[in-house]
Amino acid sequence: MRLSPIVFVLVALGLPLPAVAALPLEVPGEGQLPSLAGMLERVNPAVVNIATYTAARSSNPLLDDPFFRRFFRVPRGRTQSSGSGVVVDAAAGYIVTNNHVIERADEIAIGLADGRILQAELVGRDPQVDLAVLKVDPEALVEIGFANSANVRVGDFVVAIGNPFGLNQTVTSGIVSALGRSGLGIEGYEDFIQTDAPINPGNSGGALVDLRGDLVGINTAILAPSGGNVGIGFAIPANMVRAVMQELIDHGEVNRGLIGVVVQNLNPELARAFDVEGNDGVVVVEVEPETPAAAAGLQPGDIITQVGERNIRRIADFHSQAAVMFVGDEVDVELVREGRSRTVELEIVDNRQQRVVGRLVDPRLAGAELENFWNPDEPGLSSGVLTTFIDPASNVHAYGLRTGDVIVAVNRRSVRDVNELREAVKLSARQIVLRVYRNGRFGNVILR
Q: Write the CB contacts of 375 (distance below 8 Å, at least 6 apart in sequence).
A: 381, 382, 383
Domain residues for the domain of 360 are: 355-447
Which of 126, 130, 191, 302 is flagged as catalytic?
Answer: 130
Q: Which residue from 234, 233, 175 is spatially nearest to 17, judged by alpha carbons?
A: 233
246 and 265 in a common domain: no
301 and 228 in a common domain: no
Residue 70 pLDDT greater than 80, yes or no:
no
126 a catalytic residue = no
Q: Which residue from 389, 263, 371 is spatially nearest to 314, judged by alpha carbons?
A: 263
Which of 84, 149, 173, 204 is flagged as catalytic?
Answer: 204
- For residue 8, the model assigns a pLDDT of 41
Does residue 376 form part of some domain? yes
Select from 332, 350, 368 the last residue of a domain. Answer: 350
244 and 117 in a common domain: yes
What is the mean predicted confidence (pLDDT) over 47-60?
74
Burial 345-362 (b: 16+ CB within 10 A, else e): ebebbebebeebebbbbb
320 a catalytic residue = no
371 and 299 in a common domain: no
Average pLDDT over the chain, rounded to an integer: 81
Residue 396 belongs to a domain with what CATH number?
A: 2.30.42.10
pTM: 0.71
What is the mean predicted confidence (pLDDT) over 260-282?
83
397 a catalytic residue = no
Q: Write the CB contacts of 94 (distance below 8 Å, at least 6 apart in sequence).
A: 87, 88, 123, 133, 134, 135, 245, 249
208 and 111 in a common domain: yes
Residue 405 pLDDT greater than 90, yes or no:
yes
Q: What Cα–Cα distance (Å) separates residue 274 from each residue in 270, 281, 318?
A: 6, 12, 20
Decide: 162 and 235 in contact? Cβ < 8 Å: no
359 and 216 in a common domain: no
Residue 377 burial class via C-beta count within 10 angstroms: exposed 0-12, middle 13-18, buried 19 and up:
exposed
Residue 142 pLDDT greater than 60, yes or no:
yes
- Residue 293 and residue 353: Cα distance in Å, rounded? 14
- For residue 218, the model assigns a pLDDT of 94
Round to the nearest angstrom and report the end-to-end CA distance of the chain. 21
Does residue 99 form part of some domain? yes
- For residue 227, the model assigns a pLDDT of 55
107 and 198 in a common domain: yes
- For residue 425, the model assigns a pLDDT of 84
The residue count of the chain comes to: 448
Residue 270 pLDDT greater than 60, yes or no:
yes
320 and 185 in a common domain: no
Q: If residue 448 lies in a helix (H) or strand (E), which one and from where to where?
A: none
Does residue 25 form part of some domain? no
211 and 112 in a common domain: yes
Does residue 315 form part of some domain? yes
272 and 386 in a common domain: no
Q: pLDDT-derived band of residue 31, with 50, 70 and 90 as boundaries?
A: low
Decide: 158 and 172 in contact? Cβ < 8 Å: no
Does residue 439 form part of some domain? yes
What is the mean predicted confidence (pLDDT) over 36-52?
91
Residue 97 pLDDT greater than 60, yes or no:
yes
Q: Which residue has the higher pLDDT, 4 or 224?
A: 224
Q: Which residue from 276, 375, 372, 282 is spatially nearest to 322, judged by alpha carbons?
A: 282
Residue 122 pLDDT greater than 90, yes or no:
yes
Which of 82, 100, 196, 405 is flagged as catalytic?
Answer: 100
Region class of 285: left (phi > 0), else alpha (psi between -120 and 50), else beta: alpha
Select from 330, 350, 370 the last residue of a domain. Answer: 350
- Residue 315 and residue 279: Cα distance in Å, rounded? 12
User: Mind listing the pLDDT tens digit for each residue in 182-236?
Assistant: 766 666 677 889 998 888 767 789 999 999 999 999 998 776 655 556 678 899 9
- For residue 276, the model assigns a pLDDT of 80
292 and 167 in a common domain: no
Residue 442 pLDDT greater than 60, yes or no:
yes
- Residue 339 and residue 84: Cα distance in Å, rounded? 50
